[in-house]
Copies of this chain bind each other. A is one copy, B any other.
Amino acid sequence: MAEQGKKKLVEAITPMEIDFARWYTDVVINAELVEYTSVKGCLVIRPYGYAIWEHMQRIMDGMFKATGHENVCMPMFIPESLLQKEKDHVAGFAPEVAWVTHGGAEKLEERLCVRPTSETLFCEHYAHIVQSWRDLPKLYNQWVSVVRWEKTTRPFLRTREFLWQEGHTIHATAKEAIAETERMLGVYQTFFEETLAIPVVTGAKTESDKFAGAVTTLALEALMHDGKALQVGTSHYFGDGFAKAFGIQYTGKDNQLVHAFQTSWGTTTRMIGAVIMAHGDDSGLVLPPAVAPAQVVVIPIAAQKAGVMDTANTLTARLQSFCRAKIDASDNSPGWKFAQHEMQGVPIRLEIGPRDIEQQQCVLVRRDTRGKTIVPLAELEAVIPQMLQDVHDSLYAKALANQQNHTYRCTSLDEIRQTLRDNGDGFVYAMWCGDEACEDSVKEATGVGSRCIPYAQEQIAPTCVCCGKPAKHMVCWAKAY
């Protein structure tokens, strides 16, 4: 029975090389991260998936609070008239919102949309509470779910409802607001590198790719195993556009009434998708230790033998004083357990059997490298934290190497096409004149779209990769999720 279970579990994963999209779906289902419901694009986030999200939330929320932000909670409903107050914003979002038209049996006087994002709600609130320079800045964030009525959906990457955090801040000056968008981009970058072990390219979106209503949109792009880019976070500067649309004015120290300046920034459960596609392998998930629900799983070997379960339980309790450890005390076979916890990406497996107990040692197996180490039980307090750090570091190094190996510098459209054909998808760095027509032409001719204008600019060529006119920026181009 158990062995049959194991076989089923392993067979269920499509190898990445065969079909990356199916591999991804197999992992999210078999690792028990999500389950489908009868509403397309609306998923159940199961305990294991939600525990990963809770760790992300806890760590990121700490970073927000350390930078002076406070959490609030806005309502989920936005009256149609409120959504319409900022014209670019409504044009961007109205086509994809869910509309509530009835409360009980009664038709509403005005329809309400379920928030696709909450700029309009924060603006309405700021108009109430901001009067004087003393009221500024307000550095707010909220952890909620939002709804966008997408046609094509995929677990974590694009769902009709998704969990996220949205920061919304308001400042006395443009300078402060711009500094805030950059600070939060930096917070996100630190989080991706130090918590998720994912390297990112950061930069500004081009005009055509900005958030609806933003003056500038900064973004973080991460490269997935299949060579596609995933936008994993954004930070927007609004200038005083929303403040003008919503009448948010304050009296300055000089007694003049002026408009305030705003930002917003967000990351979503899509980060779980990024972890899967940046670190996963053909055996399933590979979790960065910082967000792994269990960092160590203890597997008793020959559990029926005298003393094994007792020792394993005592050991687990001991581990719990310095890391997140759990024991798999089920009656499945060790082989089945190995496969299951590999599928769920537990960073370290600790095996302990009668012979180990005799010799006062155990076997540690790293999920990422599958490297085995025999360790004296007395040394676990020193070895495990170091091994968790090593797992993090090597996940990051591997993801960075993958990104670097799949970052190409090209000076012509032909070279882009040829490079992608020869080396597979990836980030293409190429120069751009700043003209939207060229941006479109690159995508049409090569399949890669502009992801961002990286902060780390390189002078690859003097001229635009498309039209040959003088180049303004180096752009990072890629196929994207």
Report A170 CB to chain B, min CB distance, Å: 13
Q: Is the CB of A327 closer than 8 A to any CB of chain B? A: no
- Among B70, B96, B145, the residue within 8 A (CB) of A76 is B145
- Among B42, B46, B82, the residue within 8 A (CB) of A38 is B82
Query: A64-105 toward B: CB 8 Å interface, digit per residue (1/0)?
Result: 000000111111110100100000000000111111111111
User: Given A82-B38, A103-B149: A50 and B75 within 8 A (CB)?
Assistant: no
Are B73 and A125 neighbours in the complex by a CB distance under 8 Å?
Answer: no
Q: Is the CB of A209 closer than 8 A to any CB of chain B? A: no
Are B79 and A140 neighbours in the complex by a CB distance under 8 Å?
Answer: no
Select from chain B the residue with minimum beta-carbon distance to A41: B75
Docked Cα-Cα span, A50 to B65, in Å, equals 13
User: Given A79-B39, A104-B96, A124-B37: A46 and B71 within 8 A (CB)?
Assistant: no
Report A51 CB to chain B, min CB distance, Å: 7
Q: Is the CB of A401 closer than 8 A to any CB of chain B? A: no
Residue of A50, A75, A77, A99 most packed against chain B (CB within 10 A): A75
User: Given A47-B140, A100-B99: A163 and B73 within 8 A (CB)?
Assistant: yes
Select from chain B the residue with minimum beta-carbon distance to A42: B75
Report A265 CB to chain B, min CB distance, Å: 17
Inter-chain contacts of A97 with B (CB < 8 A): 103-104
Docked Cα-Cα span, A444 to B205, in Å, equals 66
Report A332 CB to chain B, min CB distance, Å: 10
- Among B54, B73, B76, B98, the residue within 8 A (CB) of A103 is B98
Q: Is the CB of A435 closer than 8 A to any CB of chain B? A: no
Are B103 and A44 neighbours in the complex by a CB distance under 8 Å?
Answer: no
Inter-chain contacts of A95 with B (CB < 8 A): 104-105
User: Given A35-B129, A96-B104, A114-B114: A47 and B74 within 8 A (CB)?
Assistant: no
Are B104 and A102 neighbours in the complex by a CB distance under 8 Å?
Answer: no
Inter-chain contacts of A99 with B (CB < 8 A): 100-103
Are B101 and A101 neighbours in the complex by a CB distance under 8 Å?
Answer: yes
Inter-chain contacts of A77 with B (CB < 8 A): 39, 42, 98, 161
Q: Is the CB of A112 closer than 8 A to any CB of chain B? A: yes
Are A44 and B73 neighbours in the complex by a CB distance under 8 Å?
Answer: yes
Are B50 and A72 neighbours in the complex by a CB distance under 8 Å?
Answer: yes
Report A100 CB to chain B, min CB distance, Å: 5
Select from chain B the residue with minimum beta-carbon distance to A159: B75
Query: A50-61 toward B: CB 8 Å interface, digit per residue (1/0)?
Result: 110110000000
Tell me the chain A residues, 135-177 only, with Cβ under 8 Å from chain B: 140, 144-145, 147, 149, 160-161, 163
Select from chain B the residue with minimum beta-carbon distance to A293: B70
User: Given A97-B104, A100-B100: A54 and B39 within 8 A (CB)?
Assistant: no
Q: Is the CB of A43 closer than 8 A to any CB of chain B? A: yes
User: Given A95-B104, A114-B114: A75 and B149 within 8 A (CB)?
Assistant: no
- Among B50, B74, B101, the residue within 8 A (CB) of A102 is B101
Inter-chain contacts of A76 with B (CB < 8 A): 42, 76, 114, 145, 147, 161
Report A135 CB to chain B, min CB distance, Å: 12
Q: Is the CB of A128 closer than 8 A to any CB of chain B? A: yes
Inter-chain contacts of A39 with B (CB < 8 A): 75, 77, 79, 112
Docked Cα-Cα span, A290 to B161, in Å, equals 34
Q: Is the CB of A308 closer than 8 A to any CB of chain B? A: no
Are A47 and B75 neighbours in the complex by a CB distance under 8 Å?
Answer: no
Are A114 and B100 neighbours in the complex by a CB distance under 8 Å?
Answer: yes
Report A232 CB to chain B, min CB distance, Å: 20
Inter-chain contacts of A114 with B (CB < 8 A): 76, 100, 114
Are A35 and B125 neighbours in the complex by a CB distance under 8 Å?
Answer: yes
Inter-chain contacts of A144 with B (CB < 8 A): 145
Inter-chain contacts of A160 with B (CB < 8 A): 103
16 A–B contacts from the bound complex (CB under 8 Å): A35-B128, A35-B129, A37-B74, A38-B82, A39-B112, A44-B121, A45-B73, A46-B72, A54-B71, A73-B163, A75-B161, A76-B145, A97-B103, A97-B104, A98-B102, A101-B101
3 nearest CB pairs, A to B? A42-B75, A103-B149, A47-B70
Given contacts A37-B121, A44-B125, 10 further A-B contacts (CB under 8 A): A38-B124, A43-B75, A44-B72, A76-B76, A76-B161, A98-B102, A99-B102, A99-B103, A100-B100, A103-B160
